[in-house]
Amino acid sequence: MSISRNILLKMSESTFLKKHVPNIWFVRKALKRFMPGETEEAAFIESKKLALLGIPTVYTRLGENIKNLDEADEVKNHYLQLIDKIKSQNLDIEISLKLTQLGFDISEEETYNNFKAIIGKANAILNNTVFGESTTSWIDIEGSLYTQRTIDFYKRIKFEFDNVGLCLQAYLYRTEKDLNELIDFRPIIRLVKGAYKEPENIAFPQKRAVDENYFKLSQRLMKEIKEKNIRSAFATHDEKLIGKIINEARTIHLPKDKLEFQMLYGIKPELQKELAKDGYKVRVLISYGASWYPWYMRRLAERPANVWFVLKNIF
């Protein structure tokens, strides 16, 4: 792992910086690189623009590790209201959230009840859609301390709701085993590289090894897409990896409309448009909310060259 990536990830965990950095004007200006604003209304404006290009979206309200269940109730109520707003916009928008937003650090049972209320309403409101496909509600994976608990949670909720998706991280050694164990549940998977600071005894330290494991997991997922018609999304901005995945899909005769890429708002928008124009499924993740600092620093750490891009756009 590069020194600059290590520094940025360390900064993402700083309580002091989390409190003070968001008030700095040039940081808030640079934030526009990755999110349209702090409100869902700002997200809707961008969703409408992307919809004209045939690109649907996923929404996540930023925040993690809430301290009490009152905060969890507020997050739950926000998503319940958001679902009504999505319906009124008549746009293809899915939702994605972290379990620690819903009280995972405090009560797994309350977290389960909160998530169940959200996905239950999403199914009732959003699945009567003109877009013809079942709407997925996504669980974001967090740091490795939560990995096993999150997978256990996913298996439990999958018994009640088929259309719930889970994020898996290619930089963890354990992910191949996790995927093998999940296949019988017909999972919906979003495969990412991983954005948290993890020790070398549980995560690949070098980018090359992460990329190799990502592609290996992608091959397994594409096989399952073809044979069992499960949904999987390849969440990466790495053009070399995307090219390898597309070539592999051609080799195994996987149709374009079965291959889905998910990318972050503001990152390689031309590539997003190109993939959608070429007939691949593309879905853009739009983040919003006031609690953006840790997420923002992890986005910079994913590709430290983004720091220079941000500075260039400020000055």
Q: Which residue among 5, 61, 190, 231 is the active-site one?
A: 190
pLDDT digit string, tens, across residues 2-11 = 545 666 556 5
Least confident of 20-34, 44-58, 238-252: 20-34
Residue 298 catalytic?
Answer: no
Residue 250 catalytic?
Answer: no
Q: What is the pLDDT of residue 314?
A: 43
For residue 128, how many other CB atoms are within 10 A of its CB?
9
46 falls in which pLDDT band (50, 70, 90)?
very high
Q: Enter the tokens of residue 281.
A: 């499924």
289 falls in which pLDDT band (50, 70, 90)?
confident
Q: Which residue has the tokens 């993402």?
A: 12
Q: Enter the tokens of residue 185.
A: 């549940």
Q: Is the pLDDT of residue 26 over 60?
A: no
102 falls in which pLDDT band (50, 70, 90)?
very high
Q: How open is the CA angle 157-264-24, to the nearest 5 degrees?
A: 110
Q: Are 153 and 112 in contact (CB under 8 A)?
A: yes
pLDDT digit string, tens, across residues 116-144 = 999 999 998 887 554 556 789 999 999 99
The percentage of the chain sitting over the pLDDT mark of 70, rounded to a whole number, equals: 80
Q: Enter the tokens of residue 203.
A: 């995560």
30 falls in which pLDDT band (50, 70, 90)?
low
- Cα–Cα distance between 44 and 75 in angstroms, integer? 19
Q: What is the pLDDT of residue 294?
A: 63
Q: What is the mean pLDDT of residues 252-260?
A: 96
Q: What is the mean pLDDT of residues 239-251?
A: 97
Q: Is the pLDDT of residue 106 over 60?
A: yes
Q: What is the mean pLDDT of residues 288-296?
A: 69
Q: Are 111 and 99 in contact (CB under 8 A)?
A: yes
What pairs with residue 167 in β-bridges? 190
Q: Which residue among 140, 178, 211, 238 is the active-site one?
A: 140
